[in-house]
Amino acid sequence: MVGNHTLPELNYAYDALEPFIDEQTMRLHHSKHHMGYVNGLNNAEKALAAARESGDFGKIRDLERLAAFHGSGHFNHCLFWQNMTPADNYKDPSGDLLAQIKKDFGSLDNLKAQFGAASKAVEGSGWGILAWQPGGEQLVTLAAENHQKQTQFTAIPVLALDVWEHAYYLKYQNNRGQYVDQWWNVVNWENVAENFGRATQYKFELR
C-alpha cells in the first residue's frame, strides 16, 4: 500500500550504544530525523499515486526526486539501526562473510581502512556503504552522497554508516573521523552476515 511506511522500532534502547554513540543523538536521530524521511516518502508516494490517477505528470521530476531522497533515507536508516548492537554483544565477523572480506580486501583491517576512508571522505552529507555487487560477485565499498547519489545499481547494501552531521555532531562535533573510528565498536557483524547471505542468493549475469 503506497504511503504507508512506518518508523521501525529499535532492537535496543537509545542509550545502549554508549559511550560510542550517545543517547541524545540516538533519540533525535531515530525519532525526529528518520521519522522525517518516513513522512517524506509517504507524501511522495501519495503524490505519485495522485499523478497516476489524474494523468498529470507535470511535476514528475520533483516527485521522483523526493521519492528517491526520502525513500533512500528511510531504507538506509533501517539498515543502519539493524547493523548496530551494544558493544558488550560485539563479535568479529566469521564464516562465509569473513572469507569474502579476506578475498576482496585481504583482511578485516583492510576493509575497515578502506570503508573508513570512504566514509570520512564523503563530500557533505552521506553514507559509507558495504555492498554485495552480484555483477562482479564481490563486496564493494561505496561513498554515497545525500542518501542516493554515488551508488552502484544492482549493488545490495549489507552494512551502512550514516555520516550526516546529525548522526554524530552532538558528541563528536566536527570530528567525523573519530566518530567513524569509534563506530566499529558497535557493528553487528551477525546482522551483516545475515544480509550478506541473502544478498548472495541474487544472481545477476552480465551479458
Q: Name the binding residues for Mn(2+).
A: 29, 77, 162, 166
* Annotated binding-site positions: 29, 77, 162, 166
Per the CB < 8 A criterion, the answer to whether 149 and 126 are in contact is yes
Q: Residues 96, 102, 104, 107: what is their CA dihedral angle, to the nearest 10 degrees?
A: 140
The Cα–Cα gap between 144 and 152 comes to 9
The Cα–Cα gap between 151 and 155 comes to 8
The Cα–Cα gap between 170 and 107 comes to 32
Q: Return the C-alpha cell found at 64.
A: 521522483
